Structure 1
Amino acid sequence: MRYVWATKNEGMAVVELRTMSIPDAVYEAVRERIVVGEFGPGTALTESSVAGTFNVARPTAKAAIERLVADGLLRREMHRVARVPELNRSDIEDLYATRALIESAAVSNLAQSGTVPAESLAAHRLVLARTSEGETSFPQLDMQFHRSLVVAQRSSRLTRMHSMIMSEVEMCIGQAQAQKLMPTSEIVEQHQQIIDAVAAGDPVIAEHVTRKHIEKSRDYILAGYDGRQSANSSSSTGR
């Protein structure tokens, strides 16, 4: 049996359907709930709970959990239940530093030929459409733009490495609710700078604007993290 996983671009009446196996469908469903924050930090996911939620066999649930642990979206210590991790300041800084290394190198390489991937342009147009409609939550489209820059390198190993990092980035955004912190107009402007630098065939500028864009995203997320920590501290003190 195979399931159909559907994603809808609201406001554009576009529905994407992908046929996948039951284990893949369970993995995608749990992953989605983690990255959007429905399964928040500290949430325990057991084989029995996942199996019960999605009405699947425990081995299927176990396979999904193991994949999510490998992706960094769940953490499990020896003989412990897998839990959604809460990323701290050090985690966020390390995650974005690693992301900057990969993506800045990728766009620098693209700029050497002056080729902007068609997938990147398509993702950018979707982001522009969301902005014109006043859409405030489009982290998936933002991620799509960045993923396309790396996928264009035609390296399966680099793509796998970047995909793992971006899974954690999506979770980070969900936990920080960063889409409410970073102005959409700023995201669009910085994406355009990356596209322009690549199209102009300037590897140095392309690498620079990409790194700056990622660092700016990091700073917004860290500001949100620090604000929550401060609020939690004040709440604890006032009790």
Structure 2
Amino acid sequence: MTLEDRSLGVVGIVDAVTRRLRARILAGEIAGHTALTEAKVSELFGVARPSAKAAIEQLVASGLLVRTAHRSARVVAIDPEMVRDVYRTRTRLESAALRELAAVRTVPAGASDANAEMLRMPAGPSPETVDPDLRFHTALIDGIASERTSRMYRSVLDEVRLCMAQVQGRRLLDAEVIAGQHAEILDAVAIGDGDRAAELLAAHLRSAEERLVEAVGE
């Protein structure tokens, strides 16, 4: 049964196609540089071309697809420059959030829960660490209770996931190592040392940035 057959309404159909297409891109099922025409998306999901076009435009707006003049939209292909910009943007946003949290010595429960989940994982690098890792960092941003900052951060996270998807999870660290670095950051927040928390975060993200840049180069 196609999406059109489910009586979702035009907006519901577009949103459903957008979610499915986004999920396939972020899972690495659709490679970088892949052209996504209205006809291709229409056939892929069994929807009318206007719905396919609207879904494509939503993903262009979110940064997962790129369109140049008179050309089909294509999946963004990551390169070292993009990786560095994405991670430095993360560092700026998260460092500011950590300083605010440390000023009131507040450790977000969501960050602690995500880190505890990582500690329960089996030893060794695994793509399964990606989701709790990103939930940890998202919880830091959400902890300052700024709707706009959270919205900005989530737009960056799509590009982070895209980077990870296109290198197929290479260069991942052991879950225990990541969780240990996270714990140090939270400890600094808990004692009110915002500068220390920001320094630890910068080192943590810089390490991830370098591993991704190396993987892209391969």
Q: Is the 8 A contact 1:178 1:220 kept in 2?
A: no
Task: Give the structure 2 partner of residue 137 of structure 1.
Answer: 127
Matched, 1:209 2:207: no
Determine what percentage of the aligned residue pairs are the same residue.
Answer: 39
Q: Which runs of no fewer than 5 residues in structure 1 stay unpaired?
A: 4-19, 229-239
Shift of 1:34: 0.9
Q: Give the drift of 1:2.
A: 4.8
Q: Which runs of 4+ in 1 moved over 6 A?
A: none
Q: What's 1:234 paired with?
A: none
Q: Where do residues 12-161 of structure 1 align in structure 2 (5 Å cutoff)?
A: 21-129=12-120, 131-132=121-122, 136-138=126-128, 139-161=130-152
Alpha-carbon distance between aligned partners in 1 of 2:34 and 2:49, rounded to the nearest angstrom = 19
SS in 1 for 2:133: helix
In 2: Cα distance, 1:87 partner to 1:194 partner:
29
After superposition, the Cα gap between the structure-2 partners of 1:186 and 1:110, relative to the gap in structure 1 and judged at 3 Å, is: same
1:211–1:69 Cα change, 3 Å:
same
The question of whether the paired residues in 2 share the 8 Å contact of 1:136 and 1:180 is answered with: no
Answer yes or no: is the 8 Å Cα contact 1:23–1:61 preserved in 2: yes
Normalised to the residue count of structure 2, the TM-score between the two structures is 0.88
Letter aligned with residue 154 of structure 1: A
Instruction: Please identify which structure carries the higher strand content.
Output: 1
Structure 1 pair 68–116 and aligned structure 2 pair: CA distance change class (3 A): same
Cα distance in 2, alignment partners of residues 128 and 22 from structure 1: 39
Taking a change above 3 Å as real, the CA distance of residues 115 and 179 of structure 1, as seen in their structure-2 partners, is: farther
Please give the alpha-carbon distance, in whole angstroms, between the structure 1 residues aligned to 2:132 and 2:199.
Answer: 22
The count of residues paired between Structure 1 and Structure 2 equals 210
Query: Unpaired segments of 5 or more residues in structure 2?
Result: 1-6
SS at 1:223's partner residue? Answer: helix
- The structure with higher relative contact order (CA 8 Å, sep 6+) is 2
Amino acid at match of 1:34: I
Q: Give the whole-Å Cα distance in 2 for the aligned partners of 1:127 and 1:2.
A: 37
CA distance in 2, matches of 1:203, 1:158: 18
Q: Quick check: 116-125 or 202-211, which moved more?
A: 116-125
- Could you give the per-residue CA deviations for residues 148-190 of structure 1, whole angstroms, max 9, x where no partner exists? 1112222222112111111001000111234543332221111
| Matches of 1:114 and 1:2, distance apart in 2 | 46
Q: Which residue of 2 is the match for residue 196 of structure 1?
A: 187
Letter in 2 for 1:137: P
Write the deviation string for residues 106-146 of structure 1: whole angstroms up to 9, x where unpaired. Answer: 111111111111121222222222x2376711212211111
Q: Give the RMSD, CA atoms, in angstroms.
A: 2.0
2:125–2:173 contact (8 Å) kept in structure 1: no
**1:216 and 1:35 mapped to 2: Cα distance?**
22
| 8 Å Cα contact 2:126/2:172 also seen in 1 | no
Q: Which range is displaced more, 71-80 or 120-129?
A: 120-129
